[in-house]
Amino acid sequence: MQIRFRTLIRGGMIVAALGVGAEVATADPVTDWNAFAVTTVAAAGPARPGPTGILDLAMVHAAIHDAIQAYQHRFETYDAAITGASGSPIAALSKAARDVLVMRLPAQAATIDAFYNNYLAAHSLLPTDLGTVVGQQAAANIINRRANDGSFPPNPETFVGGTAAGQWRPTAPAFAPMAAPWFGTVTPFALKDTDTVLPEPPPPQLQSGEYAKDYDEVKRLGSLTSTERTAAQTDLAYFYSGNIIAVLEQMMRTVAIANLTDMGDTARLFALGNFAMADSAISAWVNKRNYFFWRPSTAINNGDDDGNVSTIGDPNWKPLIANPPYPDYTSGANSVGGAVSRTLKHFFGTDDMTFVATSVGNQGPTSPRTYHHFSDISNDLVEARIYLGIHFRTADTVARRQGRQAADWAFAHVLRPVH
């Protein structure tokens, strides 16, 4: 793989620690469009429940990647290769991203078009640049390929779980039904079949010692009023209490800007990372809908009725933050965290890299965190979701493994070097 690095070597380790200002100053077109796409998808609000916005981002980056490869011919394209490319590659990738975003989020078309036009002007490019024809084709290919992928159905199921021990049901304060119960039926981006490629066991039996151990841990450390959770653990929890996908996208931007100088490499990194995140999140929703295992708050409130003598109930127990409106098993956050950390490890050929991660939309005061290994992010996410009181450990660790497997598959099977 041809990767041109711009790095600092310190203590034998690649250093990619950039502040926000540095990120903006050195951004390339791929990271510029990633940042805009993440913000645009987040602004869709209720139209993109849970992690479903990752589907939009994966499509954007598939189109960007294919548009650039129409010029470079270095990596396999996601859809059909585009021949005879001319004009500016920057115009091409910008048009590809613009067309996918407008199709997916038509209510934001005016904002998207304003950014697109300003971006072309900032790069001294006209809307008539021949590169826009390439980008238009790249976007059309991806849009057509994903036309019947099962996402955002017109009449989605309303799912409220059950009332038996172990079954998820809507939780306080909103008591909302499950968000996007259809998400697990969406066609993956790289995986052939989530059920066969990423098989996972059911959640622990309520009468098991494993369940009792998970129960006791989250009861002690995830409570709103916990006296055992340390200040450092609370800070870690709040750091990962907001938009996890936005945190991970920002992390990829920071690493890419510090280490990559070819936009073809950057485009491939973001496409692989977003494919792996999308596929792992789809897999998590397969488990959530199939098993609909209860959240810790429901479990602890009803702990005296679960058939396990080792679980002591507390009807007044509350988690540190409100539960997201979907079941516990498996964790969506840990699925995407495992996917991104493993993608970066594959891409750079090492787990060792120093970089700074910044929280996005957190629910408490936090500071940027410096990491020295990609895997540290996914390991912290496991702990954070327990300290937040919204997941059992098994839901986190199984999801992390599933995310890593999705990244392994994507890196081995799509967007490979043409040689």
| pLDDT tens string 248-307 | 999 999 999 999 999 999 999 999 999 999 999 999 999 999 999 999 999 999 999 999
Residue spans of alpha helices (H) in 228-364 = 231-239, 244-259, 263-291, 296-301, 332-348
Q: For 78-109, what is each residue's pLDDT tens digit?
A: 999 999 999 999 999 999 999 999 999 999 99
- Over residues 52-64, the pLDDT tens digits come to 999 999 999 999 9
Q: What contacts 92, CB < 8 A, 6 or more positions away?
A: 67, 68, 70, 71, 85, 131, 132, 134, 135, 138
Quick one: what percent of the chain has pLDDT higher than 70?
93
Domains of the chain: 8-150+172-413 (1.10.606.20)
The pLDDT of residue 25: 35
Specify the pLDDT at position 22. 31
Orientation angle between helical segments 231-239 and 374-387, nearest 10 degrees: 110
- The answer to whether the CB of 188 falls within 8 A of the CB of 409 is no
Contacts of 61 (CB under 8 A, 6+ apart): 34, 267, 270, 271, 273, 274, 275
Return the pLDDT at 27.
Answer: 64
Question: pLDDT grade, residue 361 (50/70/90)?
Answer: low
pLDDT at position 198 is 80
**pLDDT, position 10:** 28
**What average pLDDT does the segment 400-410 reach?**
96
Distance from C-alpha of 172 to C-alpha of 88, rounded to nearest angstrom: 52
Cβ neighbours, 10 Å, residue 355: 24
